[in-house]
Amino acid sequence: MAHATVGELPFTGLPAAVRAALPEYAAPRRRGTYAAGRLAAARATAALTGAPHWPLPGERGAPGWPAGVRGSLTHTDELALCAVTAADGLAVGLDMEPLASADGLYAARRYAATPAELDRARADARPELAVLRLFCAKEALYKALPAPRQEGLAFRSVTLEWPEPDPSAADEPVLLSVSPAAPAPAALRGATARCRVIGDHMVAAVTLTAPRPAYAPEYEYEYETDARHAADAPYPADAPYPADAERAPGATAP
């Protein structure tokens, strides 16, 4: 996993092919978060494979990854995170939301939560954080799916269950699992998201088992393998590269 801060690398510091993938009319804020996300991805892939990869947007805007690598990007207006894995048959999903958005999201809680989840959230010591945790976990779950399988999914497409967080262990992750008693897409049954407050953000990470049948060559396409090597460019000379990106055989959850 690797991170980058918004503004750390200017949009003009990205490889030309990566800059060209963003519409010319993109607002400065969008250019900043886009550059931070691509820098985080370059750091994460460099730590995993030894070579930085600057992902281009693919179907539904999902980032494309080198052959044999799957990953997930997330960002706020201040920070970007990227998790990647080369483990066979593993997909990852990552989401991050500012804690400051909890109250606003709670006002729209019926959009993000099923009735069963709302009942559990109301019983939580901090209902607004419970709903933010739900939102974050569902985003990560859906992002772990290949882009074609995200079609038609809504926040109420799955129901999650979780234990009451221990107030004395605020730094411990909370596990949210897809309820076996409620309808859910087949690919998400039995899945679990790990959610945790880190600084002033809520972060959720998911790994999904995705076995690869030997007779299904379209599998790699589903996960947006990016064969366009224009994005496999070296770092611009002025691009910062701290040592926070860790090499790992698989994705690590926060």
Round to whole Å and give the CA distance between 11 and 19. 7
Q: What is the mean pLDDT of residues 139-151?
A: 87
Q: What does the DSSP 8-state code read for residue 137?
A: H
Q: Strand, coil or helix: what is 170?
A: coil
Q: What is the pLDDT of residue 36?
A: 98
Residue identified by tokens 């691009």 is 239
Mean of the per-residue pLDDT values of the chain: 83
- 33-84 pLDDT per residue, tens: 999 999 999 999 999 999 999 999 887 778 999 989 999 999 999 999 999 9
Round to whole Å and give the CA distance between 195 and 254. 7
Q: Contact 164/130 with Cβ under 8 angstroms?
A: no
Q: Where in the chain is the domain with CATH 3.90.470.20?
A: 95-209
Exposure class string for 232-250: b at 16+ Cβ within 10 A, else e:
bbebeeebeeeeebeebee
Q: What does the DSSP 8-state code read for residue 57?
A: B
- For the cut 90, the answer to whether the pLDDT of residue 202 exceeds it is yes
**Percentage with pLDDT > 70 across the chain:** 81
Q: What is the pLDDT of residue 186?
A: 85
Q: What is the mean pLDDT of residues 150-173?
A: 83
CA dihedral 158, 163, 168, 172 (to 10 degrees): -60
Neighbours of 124 (CB within 10 A): 15
Q: What is the pLDDT of residue 244?
A: 39
- 219-249 pLDDT per residue, tens: 343 444 443 434 555 544 445 444 333 333 3
Q: What is the pLDDT of residue 88?
A: 83
What pTM did the predictor assign?
0.81
- For the cut 90, the answer to whether the pLDDT of residue 165 exceeds it is no
Residue 161 — pLDDT band, cuts 50, 70, 90? Answer: very high
Residue 218 — pLDDT band, cuts 50, 70, 90? Answer: very low
Task: Answer whether CATH 3.20.20.10 is correct for domain 95-209.
Answer: no
- For the cut 50, the answer to whether the pLDDT of residue 135 exceeds it is yes
Q: What is the pLDDT of residue 237?
A: 43
- 6-44 pLDDT per residue, tens: 999 999 999 999 999 999 999 999 999 999 999 999 999
What residues contact 221, with CB distance under 8 A and at least 6 apart? none
Q: What is the pLDDT of residue 210?
A: 62
Q: Contact 168/243 with Cβ under 8 angstroms?
A: no
